[in-house]
Amino acid sequence: MTARADRTALRWGGATHVGRVRTLNEDHFVARPDENLWVVADGMGGHNGGEIASEIASETVGRAFVHRSIDGLIEAVETANAAVYDAGVEDPELTGMGTTVVALAVVDHEAAEVLAIANVGDSRCYRYADGELDQVTTDHSLVAEMVREGSLSPEEAAVHPQRNIVTRVLGVHDDVPVDVFAVDPYPGDRYLLCSDGLFNEVPERGIASVLRTIADPNEAAEELVHRAIDGGGRDNITVVVVDVVEDGGRAADASGALAGDALGAAPRTGPEPSPAYARDEPSWGRLRRPSDTAELDRVELADDELVDEGRRGRRARHRAERPRARRVTWRVLLFVLLVVALVGGVVATIQWYGTSTYFVGFDGDQVAIFKGRPNGVLWIDPELVDVTGLARDEVPDARVADIEGGVEQGSLADARRYVANVTEQAEELAPPATTTTAPTTTLPTTTVPPATVAPA
């Protein structure tokens, strides 16, 4: 399918799917190729509120985009916000419903056509050009804000349990700030509008692979949806692919400008690509921004300040703005803690094994009781507990070798019983003592006659 403006020709394809888990598709997309406008919305809310919010928003943007300008696209998105908000106020069952939105349109700006991309929420627009995939829009989500602040890496954000929490949507408040990005169209560039059901299931290298290898935009959109389903399909998936077919002679003008520059003429510069263009935001809707002023994708500029940065300059800037992954992340810390716990467990196990038993052995020439393992375990040497008083040469021959190697016992009491048993056996095997009887001498008996006592 091809859409053509006065100077810019585009070709597009789209696909949407409920996914593997959800029973209701709360995504909605609108294609108005005659007006060169494409919109993707991802709704949220109780009952069927999400489905209604996304349909109201995308259809309203399609109808309200009547002025082919950056302001016209912003006004169309603001009109959609009011429509969703009013629907929620009128129907109590729909109160609080909301939706993300991302829209791409060809607009007139300073006597040239540019591509204007507006977004609220975390539905994204990517540009695939010169073999590189760049995210054009800025996510309005909790994890994206944490990434911009440097407290979370992009890899951590991709798997964070709160990655679905958005910080800005259409329909929740009666006013909403809208981000708009202006980009020069170049033949061969591809633009991808999608809900989070795609990039939460398919990594960016997989998205780039499809955009690189499948030329037909409709087939590319369908393949991306299939890959998201194969990746888990845990959410609704909506994809719109828009190709720049002709740029109204912009590339030829650029070539002529380069030739003129070689002859001393000044080269022509156009408005592509620009930093973010945003209306004044109400205080409730302003996101915290990193202190690093180099974050140019969110700089608010007046309409007449949109300037050309050059394709190479933009990509270099875009790469420089991506927050570096922190050297110490919660995963690294968790890994270190697990290693420490594992090492501590191993040390505790060895300590327990090395000291949890007793054995009977020799301490010099004496039978003794030790705590620990015979010969020790690594750094744990046996501890002398008791010297029994049983000498080596008193031990029965059959027990000597065992005691030299260390006879393990489960407790100190068991060790003492073993020693008592050896002592008893040693006593039984001891030779009997020899008794010597001294000779006796019999002396002759002398009879003493009774004394005669004379009468007085």
DSSP state of 288: P
State the chain's mean pLDDT as an integer: 79
DSSP string, 328-354: S-HHHHHHHHHHHHHHHHHHHHHHHHH
Task: Kindly give, in sequence order, each residue whose CB lies less than 8 Å from that of residue 345, ignoring residues fewer than 6 positions away.
Answer: none
Are 298 and 376 in the same domain?
no
The domain containing residue 230 runs over which residues? 2-283+294-326
- pLDDT value for 412: 87
What are the pLDDT digits (tens) for 30-89? Answer: 999 999 999 999 999 765 799 999 999 999 999 999 999 999 999 999 999 999 999 999
Side-chain half-sphere CA neighbours of 228 within 13 A: 29
Domain contains 440? no
Bridge partner list, 233: none
**Do residues 66 and 186 share a domain?**
yes
Same domain, 254 and 318: yes
Q: Which long-range contacts (CB under 8 A, 24 or more apart) does 425-434 make?
A: 425/396, 425/399, 426/390, 426/394, 426/395, 426/396, 429/396
Q: Is the pLDDT of residue 194 over 90?
A: yes
Q: For residues 339 and 354, which has the higher predicted lDDT (pLDDT)? A: 339
Cα separation values, 78 from 58, 74, 95, 338, 354, Å: 12, 6, 18, 50, 74
Q: Do 113 and 214 lie in a common domain? A: yes
Of the pLDDT bands very low, low, confident and very high (cuts 50, 70, 90), residue 310 is very low
Question: For residue 349, is it within any domain?
Answer: no
Q: Is the pLDDT at 281 greater than 50, yes or no?
A: no
Q: Is the domain of 257 the same as that of 162?
A: yes
CA 268 from centroid of its chain's CA atoms: 45
Residues 304 and 378 in one domain: no
> What are the tokens at 415?
């060790």
| One domain, residues 272 and 148 | yes
The pair of structure tokens assigned to 177 is 């700030």
Return the CA Rg of the chain: 45
- Whether 387 is covered by a domain: the verdict is yes
User: For position 5, what pLDDT does the model report?
Assistant: 47
E strand segments, 271-348: 276-278
383 and 276 part of one domain? no
Name the residue with higher pLDDT: 201 or 451: 201
Q: Are residues 320 and 397 in the same domain?
A: no
In this structure, are residues 182 and 116 in contact, taking their beta carbons and an 8 Å threshold?
Answer: yes
pLDDT at 13 over 90: yes
Q: How confident is the model at residue 317 (pLDDT cuts 50, 70, 90)?
A: very low
Give a yes or no: residue 126 inside a domain.
yes
Is residue 198 in some structural domain? yes
Looking at the fold, whether 177 and 244 belong to one and the same domain comes out as: yes
CATH number assigned to the domain comprising residue 95: 3.60.40.10
- 354-404 per-position pLDDT tens digit: 888 899 999 888 999 999 899 888 888 898 888 888 888 888 988 888 898
Contact between residue 293 and residue 329 where contact means Cβ atoms under 8 Å apart: no
Tell me: do 322 and 381 sit in the same domain: no
Domain annotation covers residue 435: no
257, pLDDT greater than 90 = no
Q: How far apart are CA 55 and CA 53, in angstroms?
A: 6
Task: Check pLDDT > 90 for residue 144.
Answer: no
- Whether 380 and 311 share a structural domain: no
Total number of domains constituting the chain: 2
